[in-house]
Structure 1
Amino acid sequence: MITREEILDLAVLAKLFVSEEELDALTEEMSNIISFADTINNAGTEAEFDGINRLSNVFREDVPAPSYPQEEILRNAGGGEDGFFLVRRRG
């Protein structure tokens, strides 16, 4: 369980103002969140989910394919410069 003092310490670190009226509710909400996270952490992991629907990943070979000619790629870039896209420096 988290304490009021820990909530105030967290508020200082986060540069938040927590009024006295909000402190009790915030402490209870944070305790509930931490409790839920503990429940998830303690959950068993015995279930196997691999192949649950008899599906498997299908990977294809990475086969190189021919590219477009350099001139065609640079055609709309005004021809480029020395075979590369020309990028003008700003400033």
Structure 2
Amino acid sequence: MFTKEDLLRVAKLAMIYIEDDELESYAMDVNKLVEFADKIKNVPEDGLEDFDDINDIVNSFNEDEVAESTDRELILRERDGGEDGYFVIRKRVAK
């Protein structure tokens, strides 16, 4: 059973303030959640399938392929040269 004192201790650890008049209600809600979790934990698993592999997709990603890319030096020349071989962009920070 989750008491008001337990709730206050957890709230303090989580740095959450709970009004005194809300403690009873919150404690009851937490107890309902714990009871529900216990019910789920105690459901018999006999005859249930494993859901480890719910769908038959093994690997939905494409294979990596090496491909030609645009020459960085060409892009830097067209972009005012950059700086020390790197792209340079203007700082855009709102004040």
Structure 2: gaps spanning 5 or more residues:
none
Structure 1: gaps spanning 5 or more residues:
none
Aligned counterparts of 1:4 and 1:88: Cα–Cα separation in 2: 56
Aligned counterparts of 1:84 and 1:12: Cα–Cα separation in 2: 50
Structure 1: 4+ residue segments shifted above 6 A: none
Identical residues among aligned pairs (%): 37
Query: Counterpart of 2:24 in 1: which secondary structure?
Result: helix
Q: What is aligned with 2:7?
A: 7
Aligned pairs (5 A) from 1:1-91: 1-13=1-13, 14-19=15-20, 21-43=21-43, 44=45, 46-49=48-51, 50=53, 52=55, 54-75=56-77, 77-86=79-88
Quote the RMSD (CA, aligned, Å).
3.1
Cα offset, 1:68, TM superposition: 0.3
TM-score, length of structure 2 as denominator length: 0.63
Cα offset, 1:26, TM superposition: 0.9
